[in-house]
Amino acid sequence: MATEEPGVNRPETEKTPKDKGDKKSKSIRTRHDYILKQVREKGFVTIEGLAQSFRVTPQTIRRDINALSESGLIHRYHGGAAPATSTENVAYSDRKVICLAEKQRIARLVAAHIPNKVSLFINIGTTTEEVAKALLHHERLRVITNNLNVASILSKNKDFEIIITGGLLRHRDCGIIGEAAIDFIRQFKVDYGIIGISGIDSDGTLLDFDYREVRAARAIIDNSRQVFLAADHTKFGRNAMVRLGSIAEITALFTDRNPPAALGEVLSVSDVRVHVAKR
């Protein structure tokens, strides 16, 4: 067995296992700090972008994001990460691209369950905007919405009658909120209410970030014969501070993955239909 001569040091280029471990830990900490900084500044970061920045594999970034998510520092999404907060939503421009393919599949499935010649409420949200796109080939729909983006999308079909609520315009996402919007919605009783949501707790509580938006969604639920909730899998277990109601009040949930076991039990007990938009 070879032994070292007394007084002879290892060359500086030779690394001990401890040296290598320290270097790896420092590299991970550096990535974690950078990811947290980017999330705070941008609101949403993509796995692909982070992998390119560090010149590492997407799998490495996924492990970083998983570790930060488990520590409660960020919230993991399909394709990226966002701040872990119950008081502020991700920026609208970022929400438009989060899980876009999943939202489009959900939207097509919702549209497939909407007949021609019916009345609808459609509320604020990037998923409901995708539903509006998926409805464009329907016939003679009457749609009441507090979402200017939805109204603009549906205006491409001249066979539709589109009614826009009054109220305060929220510039960041073209949603219309406030007492005037709520009072307007309450004048109608429609066949289908199509709503989105920011979070669904494991006990079935529906959660959102803006109490004014929640009040409008509450009026839609109360004045629709059937209520369709369109929500991708990232909404399961996501925190938000404002309570909309219970998922038991929903007729059907349209999503892209099977809900977690606890939520699935609530849906089953409440007799809420679940439609999963598979790839």
Spell out the domain ranges in the chain: 17-84, 94-276
> Among all chains, which residue has been given the structure tokens 């974690």?
32
Q: CA-to-CA distance for 71 and 51, rounded, in angstroms?
A: 21
Q: CA-to-CA distance for 168 and 20, rounded, in angstroms?
A: 58
pLDDT in the model for residue 46: 87
pLDDT in the model for residue 39: 82
The yes or no reply on domain 17-84 and CATH 3.40.50.2300 is no
H/E element, 30:
helix 17-42
H/E element, 121:
strand 119-122
> What is the Rg, in whole angstroms, of the alpha carbon atoms belonging to the chain?
24
Q: Do residues 108 and 132 touch, judged by C-beta distance below 8 A?
A: no
pLDDT in the model for residue 100: 87
- Single-letter residue type at 122: I
Tens digits of per-residue pLDDT, 82-133?
777 655 566 666 677 677 889 999 999 999 999 999 999 999 999 999 999 9
Q: Which CATH class is domain 94-276?
A: alpha beta
Tens digits of per-residue pLDDT, 33-48?
899 888 877 767 889 8
pLDDT in the model for residue 85: 64
- Single-letter residue type at 30: T
Give pLDDT < 50 ranges for the chain. Answer: 1-13, 17-18
pLDDT in the model for residue 1: 41
Is this prediction's pTM over 0.85?
Answer: no
pLDDT in the model for residue 78: 74
For residue 140, with 0-12 CB atoms within 10 Å meaning exposed, 13-18 middle and 19 or more buried, which class applies? exposed
For residue 65, with 0-12 CB atoms within 10 Å meaning exposed, 13-18 middle and 19 or more buried, which class applies? buried
pLDDT in the model for residue 129: 96
